[in-house]
Chains A and B, each alone.
Chain A
Amino acid sequence: MIVRIATEGQFELDEGNAQELRELDQKAVDQCAAGDEEVFRATFAQMLALIRSHGRQLAEDHLVPSDVILPPPDVSFQEARGGFSGEGLIPD
């Protein structure tokens, strides 16, 4: 699975790690919904650590779309909760 950490780049994860990431991802969403910022932060940090330590960073000249895109590491709890407006991502 190709994963992008927004603002950081693309990584390739093997299926086992990808599955773990999906589980963490779902947990993070539930924690967001429950409004538990501290727990969410810990889960999100776990997701980033998983990708950074087990993922293989793709070469810069690799032109492939990602399967999933993670929010930027400095994502605010508000952004994570409310989804992303998407404004300003690409200049119009």
Chain B
Amino acid sequence: MPGLSGRMSTVIKAKISKLLDRAEDPAETLEYSYQKQIELLQNVKKGIADVVTSKKRLQLQEQNLQQQLVKLDTQARQALAAGNEELARTALERKNGAQAELQSLDGQVAELEKQQEQMTQSEQRLRTKIEQFRSKKEVIKAQYSAAEAQVRISEAATGVGEEMADVGLAMQRALDKTENMKARADAVGELEASGTFQDLTALGPGEDDIDRQLRELSSTSQVDSELEKMKAELASGSTPSGELGAGTPADAQQGAKQPEEQAQ
């Protein structure tokens, strides 16, 4: 059979006959096939659990990023209020970076949601087919002559086998995607750990320049007219976007403290 669908059919049918060829007599084929079906159903359940775990992990990261967005935004405003545009810009750059990550995570969570739904449907389909197969095999055993039974068994087993191949394929694709996302999530996790998205002032004894400047400036916030001007600049979108911030030293991050209260 030529064509795209022909090639796909060939691959799946080869898999099915490999599965069915394991057993020699019809009764054995039935039992072997049934056993494999149950195994696959268990695998699908595990696969779904795996997808759910990955999704939860990404959602947790989303929450973290969201908190950091709020912090960085507040800090940008504080810096602006204190008249330090450069510092505000740095905070906003980091915020932009975190925002881009958040958007990307949103897409991934949606994708995993889709995978989960598809696998759940696949599991349901396979479960129904297995039920059907189980009752059919009893009927076949009871009602047909050996020769006829063989034909019917083969047909039923192929029908289920195809569903198995299909579920296996759906699962493989879902897990491949999940793996890719895990790698991505790990990368984001590392960025977070290195302080790239972290609170600019939440630094311990090894605080960096930005943190020190912020604290210095926060006490001398008498820059009302300047603030209005800068706010207007920021509102018109003159803040550069894109690149992630350079990050702060990871060791400094370890001793993180709450930001100091800002003087108004």
User: CB within 8 Å of B: which residues of A?
Assistant: 3-4, 6-7, 9, 21-22, 25-26, 28-29, 32, 44, 60-72, 74, 80, 83-86, 88-91
Contacts and interface: CB of A to CB of B under 8 A. Distances in A.
Nearest to A22: B3
A6 B7 CA distance: 12
Interface of B: 1-9, 11-12, 14-16, 18-19, 36, 39-40, 43, 118, 122, 124-125, 128-129, 131-133, 136, 155-156, 158-162, 164-166, 168-170, 172-173
Given A61-B129, A86-B14, A68 B1 contact: yes
Secondary structure of the B side of the interface? helix
A62 B156 CA distance: 9
A66 B1 CA distance: 13
Contacts, number: 116
A91 B4 contact: no
Contact of B36 (A68, A70, A91): A91
Contacts of A69: 5, 8-9, 12, 162
Contacts of B118: 7
B87 to A, nearest CB: 45
B5 A3 contact: yes
Given A4-B162, A28-B3, A83-B11, A65 B155 contact: yes
B8 A84 contact: yes
B11 A91 contact: no
Contacts of B3: 22, 25-26, 28-29, 68
